[in-house]
């Protein structure tokens, strides 16, 4: 019996994989950080946002996805990302990626953490150009209660989202199979969730071609 994780991702054909690779190989640039809603960039192009617990690997995944070493700032300190960070993709501009503040545990005062949470919630509920949220789950730990709180909010707001497993290279193949299956079973019950899961590794490049294609698919 194979130890490979189950095929829970879309069957992206080679043409879609290649088209997505070309988009992400083109111009990508940091646009701005928004500490509050009044600082958001204009809503003229579609956006895909990255959400996840503090230290789940959002910035590392964005860097790997875009083949840039330092596009998104990374840190070993949970809670480093305190603002909504926007990145322009394509020339002429095609869409934006949004790196959101980590939720859950953060080494910051409670009032600051509360401010971040309101910022994330208000952004997700009110951003009309947001096409999909990618909710990142650490494959070593699986879905936690704080992840379910965010998914509950996304379901209630009818914001389309998809779960992405991170750090898939850090566990055994059999464990990855199990966490992928459990994650897929849970999201099937959720109205706004995409049913397919993509396991990824920023370090090894696992799942990145499929994730690029999934981002392009989410745009419309």
142-172 pLDDT per residue, tens: 999 989 988 998 998 899 999 999 999 999 9
Instruction: End-to-end CA distance of the chain: give it in Å, rounded.
Output: 38
CA angle 37, 43, 47 (to 5 degrees): 95
* Two tokens, residue 4: 């490979």
Q: Are 102 and 52 in contact (CB under 8 A)?
A: yes
pLDDT tens string 29-81:
999 999 889 999 999 999 999 999 888 999 899 999 999 887 876 544 444 55
For each of the domains in the chain, give its residue range(s) and CATH number, in order of start. Answer: 14-218 (3.40.50.300)
3 state SS of 96: strand
pTM across the whole model: 0.90
Bridge-based pairing of strands 130-138 and 161-166 is: parallel
Instruction: Return the closest-CA partner of residue 216 out of 90, 92, 91.
Output: 90
Q: Are 96 and 47 in contact (CB under 8 A)?
A: yes
Does position 137 have pLDDT exceeding 70, yes or no? yes
Residue located via tokens 């947001």 = 130
pLDDT at site 101: 83
Which of 1-5, 132-136, 152-156 has the highest average model confidence (pLDDT)?
Answer: 132-136
pLDDT tens string 81-124:
578 999 999 988 899 999 988 887 556 677 777 777 788 888 98
Q: Cis ω on the peptide bond leading into residue 22 (within 30° of 0)?
A: no
pLDDT at site 3: 46
């Amino acid at each position: 019996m194979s130890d490979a994780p189950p095929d829970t991702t879309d069957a992206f054909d080679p043409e879609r994989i290649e088209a997505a690779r070309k988009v992400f190989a083109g111009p990508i640039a940091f646009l701005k950080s928004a500490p509050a809603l009044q600082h958001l960039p204009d809503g003229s192009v579609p956006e895909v946002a990255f959400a996840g617990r503090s230290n789940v690997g959002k910035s590392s995944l964005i860097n790997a996805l875009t083949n840039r070493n330092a596009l998104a700032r990374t840190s070993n300190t949970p809670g480093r990302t305190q603002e909504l960070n926007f990145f322009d993709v394509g020339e002429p501009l095609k869409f934006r990626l949004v790196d959101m503040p980590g939720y859950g545990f953060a080494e910051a005062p409670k009032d600051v953490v509360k401010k971040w949470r309101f910022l994330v919630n208000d952004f997700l509920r009110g951003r009309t150009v947001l096409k999909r949220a990618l909710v990142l789950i650490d494959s070593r730990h699986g879905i936690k209660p704080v992840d379910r709180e965010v998914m509950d909010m996304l379901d209630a707001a009818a914001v389309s989202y998809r779960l992405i497993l991170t750090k898939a290279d850090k566990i055994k193949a059999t464990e990855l199979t199990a966490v992928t299956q459990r994650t897929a079973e849970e999201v099937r019950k959720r109205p706004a969730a995409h049913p397919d899961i993509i396991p990824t590794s920023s370090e090894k490049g696992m799942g990145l071609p499929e994730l690029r294609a999934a981002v392009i698919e989410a745009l419309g």
